Copies of this chain bind each other. A is one copy, B any other.
């Protein structure tokens, strides 16, 4: 049970920037760590630990590195459903997710897109909803959502 940092996360534009941040934090740039980072930059979106691992690195190391990078504010993860968690680089302004329980389709909502909904929830229940870590579930338009 962890809270995401409330301040705007700094955006890392390149592998080099992240590597500098890792070093600043007292971390070392090992081969597995570099490969995790490369995989994340290559993914352009979300990837599972297993996908990130490929056939070169141990899954264990991947998890440990992802955890470390998440603490550093470089990485974040989402739980889209029953499958494995999905990891991605932190961008500027967090995307939020919607998953159709009928067809499994994942919709990505750009930052701000869910503000009206968030506002309604805040007004009704005084709760600040975030769909970045756990998505909205329901039925997409194709499956009966409209």
**Residues on A facing B (Cβ under 8 Å):** 1-4, 6, 81, 98, 100-104, 107, 109, 113-114, 116-131, 133-141, 143-146
A127, B145: Cβ atoms closer than 8 Å: yes
Partner of A138, one of B2, B116, B119, B128: B128
B127, A139: Cβ atoms closer than 8 Å: yes
The 9 A-B residue pairs whose C-beta atoms are closest, nearest first, are A126-B141, A128-B145, A129-B138, A117-B120, A116-B120, A134-B137, A126-B146, A130-B138, A128-B139
The residues of B that contact A125 with a CB separation of less than 8 Å are 98, 107, 109, 113, 141
B121, A127: Cβ atoms closer than 8 Å: no
This protein's copies in its complex: 2
Most buried by B among A6, A102, A116, A117: A117
Given contacts A81-B1, A102-B3, contact A137 B133 (CB under 8 A): yes
Most buried by B among A101, A127, A145: A127
The residues of B that contact A116 with a CB separation of less than 8 Å are 120, 123-124
